[in-house]
Homo-oligomer: A and B are copies of this chain.
């Protein structure tokens, strides 16, 4: 009976990613609850967005922890990270596309997140696994972009949900070009 806040937030993220101007009423319908209940859980639209950001950051941090990104090879660590991110893709896609969040004061959590992400790629560069002619910062941004692209492609039916993880990891790691074996 009691509303699952995170489930509501996921539904909101999915809807807002497609249509950022959705009204609270549309969000409530998408979440399968009434507008009154939505307002009981989130004071207003701003509070909803904020909760969305907090949840997304928490899930991203959790994915980084669960992937144990400091262990083993950087490539394998990255694969584990993408695997952990997969179920949270719609949520994270919203965060990375809604730059509105950064207009005011950027959420402090992003700094830490970016640092961990960049650190992973830097580790790969230092170990010789990753190329050094592109910046680790760009690698992190590219991963964000590919998560969004993957979530959209799945939503649009262009790729199978189960393939998303591999599609993102393989493209990010190896690119489009055919490797010479």
Contact = CB atoms under 8 A, between A and B. Distances in A.
Interface residues of A, number: 51
Q: Could you say which of A129, A142, A148 has the most chain B C-beta atoms within 10 Å of its C-beta?
A: A142
Interface stretch (A18-26, A31-39, A51-59): A18-26
Nearest to A174: B175
Interface stretch (A1-9, A63-71, A165-173): A165-173
Given A20-B98, A103-B18, A131-B178, A137 B121 contact: no
A134 B169 CA distance: 11
Given A137-B158, A153-B138, A174 B144 contact: no
A89 to B, nearest CB: 12
Most chain-B Cβ atoms within 10 A of its Cβ — which of A97, A135, A173? A97
A152 B146 CA distance: 13
Contacts of A102: 18, 156
B20 A174 contact: no
A108 interface: no
A162 interface: no
Contacts of A148: 97, 145, 148-149
A139 interface: yes
B133 A170 contact: yes
A138 B103 CA distance: 31
A17 interface: yes
Interface in A98-126: 98-100, 102-103, 121, 124
